[in-house]
Amino acid sequence: MKNPTIPPARIREAAQALLPEVSQFLAELVRIPSLPGQEHQAMEWLHKRLTKTLRAEVDKVPLNDTLKDDPDYSNPVAGITYNGRYNLRVTLPGAGGPRARTVLLNSHVDVVPPSEGMTEPYSGRIENGILYGRGACDAKGQVATIYLVHRMLEKLSFAMRGTLVSHIVNEEENGGNGSLAMARQGEQAAACIVLEPSDGKLQTSIRGAVWFRLRLIGKAGHSGQAGQTRSALLLARDAMGILEKYHAELLARSRGLPLFDPYPNPMPITFGKLHAGNWPASAPSEAIIEGVLGLLPNVTKEQVCAEMRQALVAAGEPLASNFELTFMYRHDSSVVAPDHELPATLLEAADRVGSPLVVSGMTASCDAWFYNNQLGIPTVVCGPGSLKVAHSKDEQIELAQIATLAETLTHLILAYCEVEE
């Protein structure tokens, strides 16, 4: 690893000295509700806070409704508009030169709705070094980690040839539209780390996913008119069985990928919503299923979309001619070889910090593919916190993990950006 003369103790001291400030930063950010499409207040707060606190350049990257025309736009949430909204691009420029490289960090400020039984979703309370609340680990804790890295680099005052750029974006939870907009800006970098809760793992292979909406078309009628009606709800039942069978076949042919094989089902199918009917004694004329199907690097999103449709058609009548299948979200998998410079350097950085990372596959999808696949920037996923509590009523993050990951990222950045004291 480059720059071995930089004492790890100095970096650790900076992280620990700044952790109380960062903990308060995170608590205040968690207290601002920021559901997808409703992040503007949080972004305004972040822009004001970062502009006031950091020496870095903090730029608003405007969004507008033309984003909806992009072929990779995701639309599981109806009625979202973009005019007047923005992402943030935070830049700590280096001195430049022929060996200067850029490292890119990314995370998101949007959160999912509070869970059932979550009595104080936006409290941001801290107890025994743990911060609780919606977004604590997914992913406002990751935004706080990025903030801490910037503060540490400024405090340490190392002279970097390269540049650190951070994207803080909207709408990761409903398909990555914020990162999609940033990808369309054509950012260039030597390495990208997308911060998501990763349970102490360095995720070099990230699975893809398609979110689908399946409309079943029935023939309404009274329960006493057997043979004269066609229940869309029964068609939905049959369709779910067919898609579960397709998933099992896809899973079987997706074995043999070392980073995913340890998981019994790294690419599940989930039926998240079903709506049908308005009366117990009537066959409904329409049923709508919404769900998600994961996919691994052996197939593309286009293949999976086509195969799902083929499976439903192959079921025969009455299903074959009485469904409409659309896709609200389509992500390919993202893969970086574990021996690539980026994960190798990050593993070495974690060892220097004394908190080793384990290379793994990610069994959820995220924004990594925009940077890795579309911009050609080697991209991995790593971050404090655990997916076990993300989106749950007990969402939380251990503040010490934020400091540890910030130390690791600082070592990585100093190595990648050709630093000299």
- Kindly report, residue by residue over 190-219, the tens digit of the pLDDT: 999 999 999 999 999 999 999 999 999 999
**Domain with 366 in it:** 8-206+333-420
What is the mean pLDDT of the segment spanning 156-161? 86
Which of 288, 310, 331 is the last residue in one of the domains?
A: 331
- Residue 2 pLDDT: 52
Pair (295, 401) in one structural domain: no
Which residues lie across from 215 on neighbouring strands? 288, 324
**pLDDT value of residue 125:** 96
Q: Is 2 part of a structural domain of the chain?
A: no
Distance, in Å, from the CA atom of 19 to the CA atom of 152, rounded to the nearest integer, reads 10
Q: What whole-number distance in Å separates Cα of residue 310 and Cα of residue 67?
A: 30
Task: Give the pLDDT confidence score for residue 228 in this predicted structure.
Answer: 76
Report whether pLDDT(13) > 70: yes
Structural domain contains residue 288? yes
When pLDDT is averaged across residues 115-137 and rounded to a whole number, the result is: 95
For residues 212 and 199, state if they share a domain.
Answer: no
What's the pLDDT tens digit per position in 287-346?
999 999 999 999 999 999 999 999 999 999 999 999 999 999 999 999 999 999 999 999
Q: Are residues 150 and 299 in the same domain?
A: no
Are 312 and 416 contained in the same domain?
Answer: no
- What is the number of H-type helices and E-type strands within the chain? 9, 20
Is the Cα dihedral 109, 110, 113, 115 positive or negative? negative
C-alpha closest to that of 392 among 116, 172, 176, 198: 116
Is the pLDDT at 99 greater than 90? The verdict is: no
Instruction: Kindly state whether residue 218 falls inside one of the protein's structural domains.
Output: yes
Residue 408 lies in a domain: yes
Same-domain pairing of 66 and 194:
yes
Is the same domain home to 324 and 376? Answer: no
CATH of the domain at 295: 3.30.70.360
On whether both 283 and 308 belong to a single domain, the answer is yes
To the nearest 10 degrees (0 to 180), the angle between helices 40-53 and 140-156 is: 10
CA distances from 118 to 108, 173, 277, 386 (A): 22, 19, 30, 18
Report the percent of the chain where pLDDT is more than 90.
89
Percent of the chain with pLDDT over 70: 97
- HEC readout, 59-71: EEEECCHHHHHCC
Residue 3 covered by a domain: no
CB 378, CB 342: distance < 8 Å: yes
Cα–Cα distance for residue pair 118/84, rounded to 1 Å: 31
Distance CA 82, CA 75 (A): 13
- What is the reported pLDDT for 4? 47
Would the pLDDT of 3 be above 60?
A: no
Helix axes 301-314, 232-253, angle to 10 degrees: 130
Q: Is residue 36 part of a domain?
A: yes
- Local confidence band at 418 (pLDDT 50, 70, 90 cut-offs): confident
Please report the pLDDT score of residue 134 as a whole number: 97
| Residue 242: inside a domain | yes
pLDDT exceeds cutoff 90 at 57: yes
Same domain? 221 vs 321: yes
- Structural domain ending residue among the three candidates 331, 351, 373: 331
Q: What is the DSSP letter of 113?
A: P
Amino acid at 376: G
Q: Give CA angle at 335 (61, 185), nearest 5°.
A: 15
What pLDDT score does 159 carry? Answer: 83
What's the rounded Cα separation, in Å, for the pair 238 and 367? 33
Does 99 share its domain with 89?
yes
Smallest Cα–Cα separation from 207: which of 241, 247, 254?
A: 254
Which of 289, 313, 331 is the endpoint of a domain?
A: 331
How high is the mean pLDDT of the chain?
94
pLDDT of residue 95: 83
Counting the structural domains of the chain, the total is 2
Torsion of CA 197, 202, 206, 207, to 10 degrees: -80
My answer on whether 46 and 184 are in the same domain is yes
pLDDT band of 419, cuts 50, 70, 90:
low
The answer on pLDDT for 234 being more than 80 is: yes
Angstrom CA distances, 26 to 36, 143, 330, stand at 19, 8, 31
Domain-located, residue 1:
no
Q: What is the CATH number of the domain that holds 415?
A: 3.40.630.10
**Band of the pLDDT at 244, cuts 50, 70, 90?**
very high
Q: What is the pLDDT of residue 220?
A: 86
Q: Would you state the pLDDT for residue 411?
A: 95
Residue 400, preceding bond cis, omega within 30 degrees?
no
153 shares its domain with 212: no
Looking at residue 7, what is its pLDDT?
85
Residues 195 and 216 in one domain: no
pLDDT surpasses 60 at 25: yes
Stretch 350-376: mean pLDDT, rounded? 96
Residue 420's pLDDT band (cuts 50, 70, 90):
low
